[in-house]
A and B are shown apart, each in its own frame.
Chain A
Amino acid sequence: MSTRRDARPDFEEFVVVCSDRLLRTAYLLTRDPALAEDLLQTALTKAWFAWRRLDEQPEPYVHTILVNTYATWWRRKWRGERPTGELPERGQVTGDGPETRHDLWVALGRLPRRQRAVVVLRFFDDLSEADTAEVLGCSVGTVKSQTSKALAKLRVDPALLAADERTRETT
């Protein structure tokens, strides 16, 4: 990029400093490493064109682009996710931690994309409800209700209910 007539060294610095964190957010949203990289590069490209208009804190803006691109992207990328009415066959219970994590990860994958985005922003990126609302372009009330619905959905997810049952059986 530095060979172009309007090189933006601060943009390159931003990519070096911030893109790893953004990539992880993208991965939690897409659940596919390749898609996550694609999503991140798409967001960074959009940010590059708007870079001169951004203030000194571009990360929230890029964050917003990333999440909104994901929200509108499902039509072109959903082929990677294979919807199924049946849960995958489970292996033997070998321990509490990894098993629970796997179940939770599976359950997160079943959340609608909007709710998944709220969960990632609130509990991975540690954004406040107000900041989450700003990133998603909705009201704080919507963030609260989406968070509540997402958590309720996770609690009754078959994978997690099965995990709870296993835990009860072993104790």
Chain B
Amino acid sequence: MKKFLPYLIGAAISMNTFAALAAGETVNVGVVVSATGPAASLGIAERNTVALLPTRVGDVQVSYTILDDATDATQAVRNMRKLISENNADVIIGTTATPGSLAMVDVAAEKKIPMISLAASAAIVEPVDGARTWAFKTPQNDFLMAGAIVQAMEKAGSKKIGFIGFSDAYGQNWLKELKNALQGKSIEIVATESYARPDTSVTGQVLKLIAAKPDAILIAGSGTAAALPQRELKQRGFKGQIYQTHGAGNSEFLKICGSACEGLILPAGPILVAGQLPNDNPMRKTGLDYTQQYEAKYGKGSVSGFGGHMHDAGALVAAAIPVALAGGAKPGTDAFRQALRDALEKSKDVVGVHGVFNMSPQDHSGLDERARVLLRVKKGQWEFAQDLN
């Protein structure tokens, strides 16, 4: 039996290929997500979203192959190579976290295959040169989000602010972007603290923050771990405005945080409040459609912003495929990969759930200020903050 196994597999593969040929051409999309490990809460939503992506664009089939990298950069690279060599992928979507995505950029350049990252860091696509000419990404840059927070702080007349963030790349990067956004403004950071994702207590940091007497505090954490400082601040009687980052934008966070989150402000993709957006907002329709599809499949209230990034990556690929095919290249060839990259770079007015994408040779992120709205928590729900947007 063992002896025949390779032949059997070979036969199965070739039959597969025949089937594909018979049904017209197939574009293979390789997907790498972090469905386990520290970034799992993001990765699971992204993986779930793949089932909602278009499987047919014009005359061609689009097939998706998903591999999990366990939030491990090495595994992400291994998965990517596997998707290219074994599945003959034409484009790679992934991965969830920044370290893995950065590592994958080099493979993309080596194999000459376009990739669309789902991680937030601007370093993945900026500046667009060398290996990064092959990399695109869908989540908003932290800078865009930090700018929104600083605007809100200015509006509220805050002078002194405190910062507490994750003691990893997420928190560090936010602190950097916050400082950038504050340049030339009359707002000063009076206290900077950090904590780790699995921490069970932040009493010490919170006491120190409060002792510096800031007008407002920004918490840079993601998921339910971002609720810990929020609760502690309220418990220790902090009366100023608290801001969070878009990493906290999911329903589990609200559930854990409870009444301690009332009134907090955070910038996020429009998807979280799709139903509350003004009627002329292009993201209203896509957002509502996506929410409805996702919740029909995975249960009410299950949708989060993270899955939306996968939706947008799918939308970019779907928009680029006809353009790439028009050049005459066949899927599965190097020429097609090149054509797909060029088509992605020319994406114009692709409406996703997080924003409108306009890529250019200088900008492989492509989002503008329409990609973020400021939200306020009211009665345990996200609310589109009319006064701030």
Is the A/B pair a real complex? no
